[in-house]
Structure 1
């Protein structure tokens, strides 16, 4: 075992009541709590107690103990939970020069978001899923739904299944419609409330009227007449207000684009028995299009030259309510006897649609579902624009030439139990991003298997989107507003509402707020400051990417398994595995703009096989070992840390992998405050690397076996040259 402490640089003392902006959890016995805030002083005193009651009351609980403050500063501190305690809800408070902080709960349910069978809401007899941190510490978690109006009694529902990160409840058929306050009661009695009311309402009814295309004369034998019959059936169902167009077993030829009306479902007998096919054409076109409120289920699609396979109208208020269920797609631009010039021409034409070609699925908006599908195409597998209350589950997704997946501006997305496979030697990975949006948040990315990303950047899962709107200081700071000292650049997004305002340094460092309104230099925030920044505090305004949960995913033969490339707030990566890939890391960096990475935790991940070739961010490293790390890539004259408050705990790096913590600049460290504990590194040239641009790094209770060197610094490397 080994322990190493790198001390913090001295900071200006602020004599005010201590305020806590963030504290790391979940946390158990002999594990470190990392706290960011203000007013701690240089010698804070910390009390920690176990919470046994239903919730933290007004009185401070009995049995509190004083714990040692590690690496204290006015804006951060660390402490260790006593090793003889059990995992339970805890509470702590910090005494500084200006008084005592309010009690802060640990291991109490922190609800990020809720979604249900109706999208962002749910229906009587449906279900709700809750996502966040510390939702269940063991068996017995419950969800309590309390009507906001009417005075009806609360409804208590058992959560099954329930984990630290997610839980599900089934709703009674007789649950009254209305708005409910959601509360989680976990083992130990700790309570956590949802961020906004849950809406329970009857599901929007689509007509169940069925029109069988055979009744209109379709033969299903591949003849040219069937396309016209199917279009006639769609028109009749549309005129009747919606319904189902049924395609019994057979093969149905379609020429040109098939357009699905609102509230219409195209249903086959099964994907083994019903096939739609398009003949090859000189010019590509979309196969199936619709606006919103349409679906396909139980059929197979075959095509050659195409732009997008199944595309909805996106980016509009009414977008969404689209679904695919049990659909198979086999769409290949390059099928058959094409010569190299024809292959090249089709590939170049596909790149006019995106950097990864056309999409098999292009959806967006509220309540999108892609469930139990098998989607193989020539470019991108799936593109979602501003998905809300949406689910992509149980699918096999193949990426074609330069193909990837693209989730832009999500808020409430479950991406779960999918297999993503590179089907071309030039396939790549995909991203959660803000290419056209100001924010992306609340994504549950779990139990997926990703493999064979060999083209482009090779990044299996990256966050992405460069640039921002402002970097500088504020001329005036209000309780919940700013007047910027210089003109911002609002023109590079259609709407900056929801974007992030980050206090990178100085007074108030570590606070992030969202843009509620903006007008010229005046920015109104979503909530007041806990500690008001001053006019010298550096501020960056950029896209907000927050509260992603990456749980139990498996990555194989990729350049990077999981990276946060720039702005990233309050993400958790837990239980993920990487084989022959560049590992897991978060990075604050200059990406056309200062983009911070704050409050990210890596818990219980594994790197099984770390020998890598042509890997890393942007596929930039020829060969080397995989890594688990945090990078604060100081650049462009920056003076404030870009990576703040990271936790790496109980990760296992088995073969040719290392810990890697980088801050670049000793004078203006890019990385501040990090805990790495109870990690195991074995069978590697070195256990870890820390450069001199890092401050406040606490390494404790790590195990290194069969390593050439333990922790190596950049200074040691320079001295050895």
Structure 2
């Protein structure tokens, strides 16, 4: 877009002009994921007060030059941006435009650290304005490609996306505010041309909370802006539904139907009669007075009924016989508006079958609050619902399975784990999770069945992709497998996204902007609710959400930014994990972390994961502080790899390994398949390390090259081995080995501004830097001190 036209549109304060809308739509295609309406047909609001000006002098949509398909979207001056795209080469030139308040905009040319066929890394100039939005574009002899935004506001989801007036809701995403929570703006459109800015309650770069205004019921557009990028800085729209909250007006008291609550009588029949009356009067409240209500039967939960006690320390509903249904409280998949509040629900050791739980529900709008749930020895919750609140409960048992639940909010709970259970919360294909302010502990470590294995949240793709998750303010204590002689110690990852075992489907026989035809299409479970991923060749590193699969034709949600071709491109159709933030949590493993060979890890991003953020957490007593690793799992599988994971600003203490990245469990695959692109580990403070501070693992396999990992501005203090790149480090102990020539390649790797200090515990075998033969890192101002050997990045 010409500079004069854009300046005229912005200066006039117009909602949008045709050229502006087209340019902004092109920017969104590069800069955001699916699930949002086309900006061209829904112009954004006016610039929020105090926002930066933004007047780029070049067209956003680009020409026939190199295309940036995806990349890391958060970086400041002097920090590294990693990119995936098409037609990159050593001669590719990059340009960046930045502009902030009080400064004129400027275009700066950047020489990349690395530019290979599928990826590139480049450091933003230190002279750029801090806290600004940057537009990148690539140039070759063919011309310029389209612009790619860094630090632009990204709205991912709303939680909840349906709320009553005055209720809070939050915008979740990335780059939503400055690090201190300032400059966040949320705009709600009340009509095609009008709207209002909503007062911000709390804000951080990944979540902004506001309150629902007093408007009529209906659907409204929500936009967000972080003060950067002028008119180009808006992200949206997402849809907020304003609705009336359930009234629960009629009260049905179980005592009026003969329930005694004396802890001795069987009140099951009386409660069932009262429940039937409450169902007829719904929306209604089923009230339990003070006491202990025993029942030898289970209860079907009807829609529109709130179960209300006098408080979890005053009212208990207790199962007095073996469970005779899928749950003590249960319902099918169509229940709506069910609440359980102020109750203790107890089925101690009476829930044992794997397909049963204390509470088993399916449907929509389910709330469990201020209650005590006890299913020691069995599953506590088995719920698949859209709209699930789990708030301020004490939950004891073998974890909860949430299937494909969506819009899940677990806030202020205490999870007391038993029976070496898998996880407090497990999702096999859900989306839109917010776990905030929860505590994970072992129920009674003095008992053999009184501990879990350390997992707060597990995401796996058995039923589809897991999308959009936010973890903040959570705490774990003494969380890891208790005894490797009694427990499977290949576990213990406190927050894990586990997406390995994908099959390479091969080349396409036909392509269109939103379809790919793959002959003899054979799909893994959950693929119909998964993604199309370009695993190799032109366009590699991009993914799109599956809309439908008919025969060999897969239809997806939006066109590719960097289109694939029928000659080189290879595809997966598979569940993935995408867009998760683990921010400001306190995660603790066991004190035996150095000797206890479990997979105790604060956060594990494992396999096919995109846009994951692990930032500003306090991590201690782990086998591995944070892992971001690729895997091929078995010889029949291709490589599942993370893309553009950002691990930033974490404080990691008393660990065996600080940060662990690269390829694990590698087997031969197609040579062009990527083993991950652009994972960045930045400004982490790592201290008191028993083994390796920063570990990059490689295997003796063909294919699955690890491309463009970046370690910058990290500080490692008190580690016998500062940084190691070697063969099968996960099993290496102190004897590091090199990767055979041509196997397990590491391409475009960058070290920038890291500090490694051996510290007071100097040992004869300490090594500051060790790298496999043939591995080269691009180094920029790194420092090593106090090591016996390898005090510089030279193998």
Report the CA distance shift for 1:647/1:276 in structure 2 as closer, same or farther (over 3 A): same
Which deviations, in whole Å up to 9, do the C-alpha atoms of 1:243-281 show, x marking residues without a partner? Answer: 111111111111121222211111101111112222354
What SS does the corresponding residue of 1:321 show, helix, strand or coil? strand
The reply on whether 1:256 has 2:282 as its aligned counterpart is no
Report the CA distance shift for 1:144/1:556 in structure 2 as closer, same or farther (over 3 A): same
The answer to whether the 8 A contact 2:223-2:238 is kept is no
The reply on whether 1:653 has 2:693 as its aligned counterpart is no
Distance 1:203 1:665 in 2: 60
Aligned with residue 342 of structure 2, among 283, 288, 298: 298
Distance 1:256 1:285 in 2: 12
Report the CA distance shift for 1:498/1:304 in structure 2 as closer, same or farther (over 3 A): closer
Shift of 1:542: 1.8
The answer to whether the 8 A contact 1:24-1:35 is kept is yes
Q: Corresponding residue for 1:710?
A: 768
What does residue range 82-121 of structure 1 map to in structure 2 within 5 Å? 82-84=125-127, 85-116=129-160, 120-121=161-162
The answer to whether the 8 A contact 2:323-2:350 is kept is no
Q: Corresponding residue for 1:350?
A: none
Aligned with residue 410 of structure 2, among 392, 412, 417: 392
Report the CA distance shift for 1:673/1:220 in structure 2 as closer, same or farther (over 3 A): same
Shift of 1:698: 0.5
Distance 1:18 1:705 in 2: 41
What does residue range 114-129 of structure 1 map to in structure 2 within 5 Å? 114-116=158-160, 120-129=161-170
What does residue range 219-238 of structure 1 map to in structure 2 within 5 Å? 219-238=260-279
Q: Corresponding residue for 2:217?
A: 177
The reply on whether 1:371 has 2:391 as its aligned counterpart is yes
Report the CA distance shift for 1:531/1:102 in structure 2 as closer, same or farther (over 3 A): closer
TM-score (norm 1): 0.84
Distance 1:253 1:303 in 2: 10
Shift of 1:134: 0.6
The reply on whether 1:462 has 2:505 as its aligned counterpart is no
Report the CA distance shift for 1:531/1:188 in structure 2 as closer, same or farther (over 3 A): closer
What does residue range 538-549 of structure 1 map to in structure 2 within 5 Å? 538-549=570-581
Distance 1:103 1:473 in 2: 29
Q: Corresponding residue for 2:51?
A: none
The answer to whether the 8 A contact 1:632-1:641 is kept is no
The reply on whether 1:513 has 2:544 as its aligned counterpart is yes
What SS does the corresponding residue of 1:125 show, helix, strand or coil? coil
Aligned with residue 606 of structure 1, among 639, 651, 654: 651
Between the two proteins, the alignment pairs up a number of residues equal to 649
TM-score (norm 2): 0.77
What SS does the corresponding residue of 1:359 show, helix, strand or coil? coil
Distance 1:125 1:332 in 2: 38
Distance 1:668 1:234 in 2: 61
Report the CA distance shift for 1:471/1:663 in structure 2 as closer, same or farther (over 3 A): farther
Q: Corresponding residue for 1:277?
A: 318
What SS does the corresponding residue of 1:229 show, helix, strand or coil? helix
Which deviations, in whole Å up to 9, do the C-alpha atoms of 1:602-623 show, x marking residues without a partner? Answer: 1112220014xxxxxxxxxxxx
Shift of 1:21: 1.5
Which deviations, in whole Å up to 9, do the C-alpha atoms of 1:104-125 show, x marking residues without a partner? Answer: 2221101111222xxx333332
Shift of 1:391: 0.4
Deviation larger for 455-464 or 249-258: 455-464
Shift of 1:703: 0.5
Distance 2:474 2:549 in 1: 39
Aligned with residue 713 of structure 2, among 667, 678, 686: 678
Unaligned runs of at least 5 residues, structure 2: 1-62, 444-448, 482-486, 591-599, 727-738, 740-744, 760-765, 776-788
What SS does the corresponding residue of 2:370 show, helix, strand or coil? strand
What SS does the corresponding residue of 1:230 show, helix, strand or coil? helix
What does residue range 160-175 of structure 1 map to in structure 2 within 5 Å? 160-173=201-214, 175=215
Shift of 1:689: 1.4
The reply on whether 1:320 has 2:346 as its aligned counterpart is no
What SS does the corresponding residue of 2:165 show, helix, strand or coil? coil
Distance 1:187 1:557 in 2: 39
Q: Corresponding residue for 1:4?
A: none
Q: Corresponding residue for 1:66?
A: 109
Shift of 1:61: 7.4
Report the CA distance shift for 1:607/1:556 in structure 2 as closer, same or farther (over 3 A): same
Distance 1:488 1:669 in 2: 22
Unaligned runs of at least 5 residues, structure 1: 1-14, 55-59, 334-357, 612-624
What SS does the corresponding residue of 1:488 show, helix, strand or coil? coil
Report the CA distance shift for 1:383/1:243 in structure 2 as closer, same or farther (over 3 A): same
The answer to whether the 8 A contact 2:131-2:228 is kept is no
Q: Corresponding residue for 1:22?
A: 70
Distance 2:749 2:700 in 1: 15
Shift of 1:322: 1.3
Aligned with residue 753 of structure 2, among 696, 701, 708: 701
Q: Corresponding residue for 2:506?
A: 472
Distance 1:649 1:565 in 2: 19
The answer to whether the 8 A contact 2:629-2:660 is kept is no
Distance 2:474 2:67 in 1: 39
Shift of 1:546: 0.6
Q: Corresponding residue for 1:311?
A: 359
Distance 1:715 1:422 in 2: 45
Shift of 1:633: 5.2
Shift of 1:152: 5.3
Aligned with residue 480 of structure 2, among 448, 453, 459: 453
The reply on whether 1:587 has 2:612 as its aligned counterpart is no
The answer to whether the 8 A contact 1:499-1:542 is kept is yes
The reply on whether 1:427 has 2:427 as its aligned counterpart is no
Which deviations, in whole Å up to 9, do the C-alpha atoms of 1:175-212 show, x marking residues without a partner? Answer: 24333332212234555555554132323535321112
Which deviations, in whole Å up to 9, do the C-alpha atoms of 1:223-251 show, x marking residues without a partner? Answer: 31433222111111112234111111111
The answer to whether the 8 A contact 1:49-1:61 is kept is no
Report the CA distance shift for 1:489/1:203 in structure 2 as closer, same or farther (over 3 A): farther
Report the CA distance shift for 1:161/1:70 in structure 2 as closer, same or farther (over 3 A): same
What SS does the corresponding residue of 1:131 show, helix, strand or coil? strand
Aligned with residue 575 of structure 1, among 574, 595, 616: 616
What SS does the corresponding residue of 2:601 show, helix, strand or coil? coil
Which deviations, in whole Å up to 9, do the C-alpha atoms of 1:592-648 show, x marking residues without a partner? Answer: 53323111111112220014xxxxxxxxxxxxx443423365423331222111111
Which deviations, in whole Å up to 9, do the C-alpha atoms of 1:328-363 show, x marking residues without a partner? Answer: 123335xxxxxxxxxxxxxxxxxxxxxxxx311111
Report the CA distance shift for 1:282/1:311 in structure 2 as closer, same or farther (over 3 A): closer
Distance 2:85 2:508 in 1: 20
Distance 1:214 1:232 in 2: 11
Q: Corresponding residue for 2:723?
A: 688
Which deviations, in whole Å up to 9, do the C-alpha atoms of 1:85-117 show, x marking residues without a partner? Answer: 32222222222222112232221101111222x
Report the CA distance shift for 1:504/1:470 in structure 2 as closer, same or farther (over 3 A): closer
Q: Corresponding residue for 1:620?
A: none
Report the CA distance shift for 1:284/1:563 in structure 2 as closer, same or farther (over 3 A): same
Q: Corresponding residue for 1:502?
A: 533
Q: Corresponding residue for 1:353?
A: none
Deviation larger for 697-706 or 495-504: 495-504
Which deviations, in whole Å up to 9, do the C-alpha atoms of 1:52-100 show, x marking residues without a partner? Answer: 379xxxxx97322223322123433222233343222222222222211
The reply on whether 1:524 has 2:570 as its aligned counterpart is no
Distance 1:77 1:151 in 2: 41
Distance 2:306 2:627 in 1: 43
Distance 1:17 1:285 in 2: 59
Report the CA distance shift for 1:156/1:200 in structure 2 as closer, same or farther (over 3 A): same
Distance 1:103 1:219 in 2: 70
The answer to whether the 8 A contact 1:551-1:575 is kept is yes
What SS does the corresponding residue of 1:438 show, helix, strand or coil? coil
Deviation larger for 457-466 or 240-249: 457-466
The answer to whether the 8 A contact 2:660-2:697 is kept is no
